[in-house]
Structure 1
Amino acid sequence: MVSAFKPTWMVTNIYDLTPDQLRAHGIKAVMTDLDNTLIAWNNPDGTPELRHWLTMLEMAGIQVIVVSNNSRARVDRAVAPFNLPYVHRALKPLTWGIRRALHRWNLRREEAIMVGDQLLTDVWSAHRSGVRSVLVKPILTSDAWVTKGNRLLEKVVMWRLRHDYPELTWQEDLNERKTH
């Protein structure tokens, strides 16, 4: 059962995903969680590093799509400065949001990845959707109140994952080693 939460890759942060690495793995689209993955949950304006990363991916023809459990108003406000497409109220860990993104942007499962900072929502929904997953460290160590319960459960799941899969470690990029 714990294998359902095992990420395909564990990368320190989303900015470590370069166009060359993504292309080498056949990835044409990066579906990403919003809060604490793409932007800090309490800073919807993003950073210059985020803008640079988005520009690099756009120039390489790799699409970035936000798949978030947040409301339309919250996601729209956060992604408007970056002109990013999104799926709001994605209902992760259900597969609805990821499947909707794949369908809406005409993507095959093997052409996309789901990046997020939570095992119990982002990684699990990716696996249930047949999409490779990338777990990243949260941008901030604090969370919105709705996420705090998940983090406690996640610690137990991560402990079990590391026990069952000792090779599961944080990587600097996708090319170091796949976790499965």
Structure 2
Amino acid sequence: MKVLRPKALLPAVTAVTPQWLSERGLRAVLLDLDNTLVPYEAYGEAPRHLLEWLEGLKQAGVRVFLVSNGSPRRVRYWCERLGVPGFGPAGKPWFGFREALRRLELTAREVAVVGDQLFTDVLGGNLVGAYTVLVPPLSSREMGYTRLVRRLERWVLRSLNPEAFDPEGVRPGPTIKD
């Protein structure tokens, strides 16, 4: 079960600040797209707070890279609007993170993987040895398969650290200790 344990549970992707990363010796962030940065199937302009957060990371020297299982067209669309490099479909959890590390020329120990899904983002990040961060999904709108997997996620998270997990995903949990 250790491979499914996120290193941290945070209330939102924007809680990953330059200071938070620096305290953990991290130099880059690999970000999931759907329901981590933007709601599933959403298009339009990027939210201002999200653009400001990304700009703050960049100004602090934090490298940002999008790793998504979304379609190439969708990932390109959001990479352009967010001003970050990335690719998709990444084939998470088995693929994608190694390719992102290769492109960034960083080791997994220097990188945080942030996403809303335990069986893609956390599992994949842990498999490569990155610092994994689980955030609540932005929307309840998801693929049917993902909705079913969420039930298993809740069970796994409760068994890993029941006091740190809020099944509704609305309160921040503490950093999970190894």
Q: TM-score, normalised by structure 2?
A: 0.89
Aligned to 1:152: 148
Which residue pairs with 1:177 in the alignment? 175
Contact 1:123/1:134, CA 8 A, preserved across alignment: yes
Is 1:135 the equivalent of 2:131? no
Give the 3-state SS of the residue equivalent to 1:104 in structure 2. helix
Equivalent AA in structure 2 for residue 178 of structure 1: I
Number of the residue aligned with 2:5: 6
User: C-alpha separation between the residues in 1 aligned to 2:157 and 2:38?
Assistant: 26
Q: In structure 2, how many angstroms separate the alpha carbons of the residues matched to 1:177 and 1:120?
A: 19
Paired AA for residue 70 in structure 2: N
Structure 1 Cα separation of the partners of residues 73 and 153 of structure 2: 32
Please provide the CA RMSD for this pair: 1.8
Q: How does 1:52-63 map to 2 (within 5 A)?
A: 52-63=52-63
d(CA) in 2 for partners of 1:77, 1:164: 36
The answer to whether the Cα contact below 8 Å between 1:3 and 1:161 also exists between their aligned partners in 2 is: no
Deviation, structure 1 residue 60: 0.3
Task: Give the length in aligned residue pairs.
Answer: 173
In the TM superposition, 1:102-121 aligns within 5 A as: 102-121=101-120
Give distance in 2, aligned partners of 1:83 and 1:59.
13
- Give me the identity figure in percent: 33
Name whichever of 9-18 and 164-173 sits farther off. Answer: 164-173
- Could you say which residue in structure 2 is the equivalent of 1:43? 42
- 1:36 Cα deviation after fit: 0.7
Shift, 1:156, TM fit: 2.3
Write the letter of the residue equivalent to 1:27: L
1:138-177 deviation per Cα after TM superposition (whole angstroms, max 9, x unaligned):
111211x3xx32332232232233134234336758xx53
Are 1:16 and 1:172, in contact at CA under 8 Å, matched by a contact in 2? Answer: no
- Cα deviations by residue, 1:105-145 (Å, 9 ceiling, x for unpaired): 111111101111111111111111111211111111211x3
Note the residue ranges of structure 1 that are not aligned, 5 or more in a row: none
Tell me the equivalent position of 1:66. Answer: 66
**1:65 Cα deviation (Å)?**
0.4
Corresponding position of 1:88: 88
Q: Secondary structure at the match of 1:37?
A: coil
Gaps (5+ residues) in structure 2? none
C-alpha deviation, 1:72, in angstroms: 1.6
Aligned position for 1:166: 162
Aligned partners of 1:5 and 1:119 also within 8 Å:
yes
In the alignment, structure 1 residue 26 sits paired with structure 2 residue 25: yes
TM-score (normalizing by structure 1): 0.88
